[in-house]
Amino acid sequence: MSANRPNIVLVVLDTARFDEVMTCVNDIQTTPFLQTLANEGATYTTAFSPAPWTLPSHASLFTGTYPSRHGAHAGHKQLNHSIPTLTEAFAANDYETVGVSNNTWISGEFGFERGFETFHRTWQYVQSDTDLGRAARTNEGVTKYRAVVKALIDGNPLTNLLNAFYGKFLRKQHDKGAIQTNDWIESWLSDRNDDPFFLFVNYLEPHLEYRPPSEHAKQFLPDGISYDEAMEIPQDAWRYIAKKTVLSDDELDSLRALYRAEIAYLDERLRELRSILQKSNEWKNTIFVVLGDHGENIGEFGLMDHQYSLADTLLHVPLVIHGGPFNNYGQIDSPVQLVDIPATLLECAGIDQSIFNKSIQGQSFHPDSDMRRSRVFAEYLAPQPSMEALEQRVGKLPAGVRTYDRSLRTIRTDEWKLIRGSDGTRRLYRTEGEETDDKSELYPDIAEHLENQLDEWLNSFEHADVTDDAVRISKDTRNRLEELGYLQ
């Protein structure tokens, strides 16, 4: 393998927010291995996602474009096929392209398998477009077996039966796929050619529901709260948002402890992944990128999960890069965005980004680049779930909850952040202050200036044509998404 053609490993810690990843709690480093990588490589302290949830943020990560450009959001749940992806760029330049996903959104059904030579879905024992494991997981006794038999007639009986059995009995309940992911990567590395590779991994562990191993949770739980007690706390985000469930401060603290424990557990799996690469003699020639696709609210702003908001709790994400030109690069405090990742990685691999996409919106922050962002943008183009889906799940909604039925856009500078809603709301915050202290009435000129900049930016590029909103989601995928908390 040529030394000037590095392997690229792009790892997404799904639902990992910056202030809970790169931190110490109770004098315990949440992610000691990731901190080691940061010390040896580069860590970006002001990295931001362009969207607060999985589908649009990954679409931006794969295309280097913002949600308005790529068109993947709650109103159109699929990546626009007319926009080239990072994976296709690597494949066109003789890279072996491999993906491992633990999140149903990141699959071929939503347009994310384009360009991958191999794509592995950890929720399936036998890789198949049909997934009927829910029939086995959500029924018991005779009802379970009737449901399985009924499901079998819709596809390959043996494949569906194996996947259903795997989902119910074999997949680790305290692990959302990280162990299987690493095992699969180790097997793949043992039998591959000598081409450089692009490996994409989505780990799901920090995502709701939080089910960390007890030994990881105990080190973060508040005094007097046992692991079993913490696991009994309701984790239904939608009932909490709709004011149907009330959680005390102590209960929210316990949920945050479980969330941190999930991240700490995943840090060990990251260390294991490095060991796998080292044993395969691939580590020294690998650029290893670890990032969060978005963050999480655990009671902040009266919210749980990662919807209805563009607060920094959802947009500020960890970003650590190790290897190649990033070795010993140190801490970088200037802002970058996930849309900048494709251009950066293509430059690292010596691939002309204009071949990838002439209209790419991100900018390379390769160490040899003089790129300096003055503004950061993010978009939330449609509520997910819709008010109708939320009401169907939890019952009649309080009037205040219906204010979430809107789109949001934000522009952020070093000092100020403006969030504008399609409902006419406009809020202005200092970036070093709390996002509860609206300054728009005190500084109307600043708010107007930022709003004009936001409009100029929106008018500077072509928006996706997503007039056909009827993106079909299979019943089985819909069921799996709802198991993850995504109401459809």
Range scoring the smallest mean pLDDT among 24-33, 208-217, 269-278, 283-292: 24-33
In percent, the amount of the chain with pLDDT more than 90 equals 76
Q: Considering the domain boundaries, does residue 150 fall inside one?
A: no
Among the listed residues 345, 85, 63, 321, the one whose alpha carbon sits nearest the alpha carbon of residue 196: 345
In percent, the amount of the chain with pLDDT more than 70 equals 88
Q: What are the Cα distances from residue 64, in Å, to 340, 357, 360?
A: 6, 9, 6
Range scoring the smallest mean pLDDT among 93-97, 134-138, 231-235: 134-138
Interval 265-323: pLDDT, tens: 999 999 999 999 999 999 999 999 999 999 999 999 999 999 999 999 999 999 999 99
- The pLDDT, as a whole number, for residue 469 is 52
Q: Which residues contact 273 (CB under 8 A, 6 or more apart)?
A: 9, 11, 182, 185, 201
Q: Which domain holds residue 208?
A: 7-123+171-371+464-483
- The pLDDT, as a whole number, for residue 127 is 54
Among the listed residues 338, 405, 432, the one whose alpha carbon sits nearest the alpha carbon of residue 75: 405
Is 220:260 a contact under the CB 8 Å cutoff?
Answer: yes
The residue behind tokens 């992944």 is 273
User: pTM of the full predicted structure?
Assistant: 0.90
Q: Considering the domain boundaries, does residue 411 fall inside one?
A: no
Q: Considering the domain boundaries, does residue 475 fall inside one?
A: yes
Cα–Cα distance between 316 and 42 in angstroms, integer? 17
Interval 315-347: pLDDT, tens: 999 999 999 999 999 999 999 999 999 999 999
pLDDT at residue 165 is higher than 70: no
Instruction: Supply the CATH number for residue 220's domain.
Output: 3.40.720.10
Mean pLDDT of 248-271: 97
Give the up-direction half-sphere exposure of residue 83: CA atoms within 13 A in the CB hemisphere.
28
Mean pLDDT of 202-220: 95
Q: Considering the domain boundaries, does residue 395 fall inside one?
A: no
Among the listed residues 60, 71, 59, 56, the one whose alpha carbon sits nearest the alpha carbon of residue 306: 56
Cα–Cα distance between 339 and 346 in angstroms, integer? 13
Confidence of residue 477 (pLDDT cuts 50, 70, 90): confident
- The pLDDT, as a whole number, for residue 143 is 47
DSSP per-residue codes, 127-160: --S---HHHHHS--HHHHHHHHHHHHTTS-HHHH
Q: Considering the domain boundaries, does residue 66 fall inside one?
A: yes
Mean pLDDT of 106-129: 85
Eight-class DSSP state of 168: I
Q: Which residues pair with 418 in a beta bridge?
A: 411, 428
Mean pLDDT of 26-38: 93
- The pLDDT, as a whole number, for residue 139 is 43
pLDDT at residue 142 is higher than 50: no
Number of domains in the chain: 1
Q: Would strands 376-380 and 408-412 be described as parallel, antiparallel, or unpaired? A: antiparallel
- The pLDDT, as a whole number, for residue 153 is 52
- The pLDDT, as a whole number, for residue 131 is 43
Q: Considering the domain boundaries, does residue 388 fall inside one?
A: no
Range scoring the smallest mean pLDDT among 132-141, 158-167, 170-179: 132-141
pLDDT at residue 178 is higher than 90: yes
Q: Considering the domain boundaries, does residue 382 fall inside one?
A: no
- The pLDDT, as a whole number, for residue 145 is 47
Q: Considering the domain boundaries, does residue 449 fall inside one?
A: no
Cα–Cα distance between 343 and 366 in angstroms, integer? 9
Mean pLDDT of 339-363: 91
- The pLDDT, as a whole number, for residue 173 is 52
pLDDT at residue 438 is higher than 90: yes
Cα–Cα distance between 360 and 352 in angstroms, integer? 12
- The pLDDT, as a whole number, for residue 156 is 53
